[in-house]
Amino acid sequence: MSETRHGPRERMVFSAAQLIRRDGVAATGMREVAAHAGAPRGSLQHYFPGGKEQLVNEAVGWAGRYAGRRIACFLAGLKEPTPSGLFAAMVAQWTDEYAAHGFATGCPVAAATVDCASADGSTREAVAAAFTTWRTPLAEALTGMGVPAARAESLATLMISTLEGAILMARAEQDAGPLTTAVRELGPLLDSAVGSGG
């Protein structure tokens, strides 16, 4: 995950997302975020008066927007867009990362979900919103490829949940096998939905 970052605030949000995807919410400290971002520690209170919760929520929101924007990038890279091809491209982002850098990181939205989903409050709401921000353009892309609108959101949910589960398993096993299995097994189901009616 990368993004052009300009000011200290943007750098801290990005850095928080990177640290959360590696270490989880509980192990990501405000000082560590500032150091990772190369931002003055005193700027934390200025930019995030709501403290760590605000920073985590903004990092999760950034990650949801990033994932949502990636859908268009993946589609642009496909010669002949199909649901299975789109899912394979989504997965390839992770298999490529793991091949290049090992299995140290996962999805920051998933990490925040694991750490915060049982709690009442804004972070649980932020992770739910991030998944929606990701699922919406994915469902729209499926509809654009001929998947009936009645099924597109359900299949987008299936694609995201399968990907997130495969990421967790790949990290646990230190092997990309769960990711490649997900592509092989889910692809035909996704393609069968094209033009299948409601």
Residue 117: per-residue pLDDT = 65
Q: What's the pLDDT band for 5 if we cut at 50, 70, 90?
A: very low
Q: Is the pLDDT of residue 4 over 70?
A: no
Q: What's the pLDDT band for 7 if we cut at 50, 70, 90?
A: confident
Q: Is the pLDDT of residue 198 over 70?
A: no
- Overall pTM surpassing 0.85 (yes/no): yes
Average pLDDT, the chain: 92
The DSSP-derived string for 18-39 is HHHHHH-STT--HHHHHHHHT-
Q: What's the pLDDT band for 196 if we cut at 50, 70, 90?
A: confident
Q: Note the pLDDT tens digit of each residue in 104-156.
A: 999 999 999 888 766 667 888 999 999 999 999 999 999 999 999 999 999 99
CB 5 within 8 A of CB 11: yes
Residue 46: per-residue pLDDT = 87
Q: Is the pLDDT of residue 32 over 80?
A: yes
Residue 6: per-residue pLDDT = 65
- What whole-number distance in Å separates Cα of residue 49 and Cα of residue 45? 5
CB 83 within 8 A of CB 147: yes
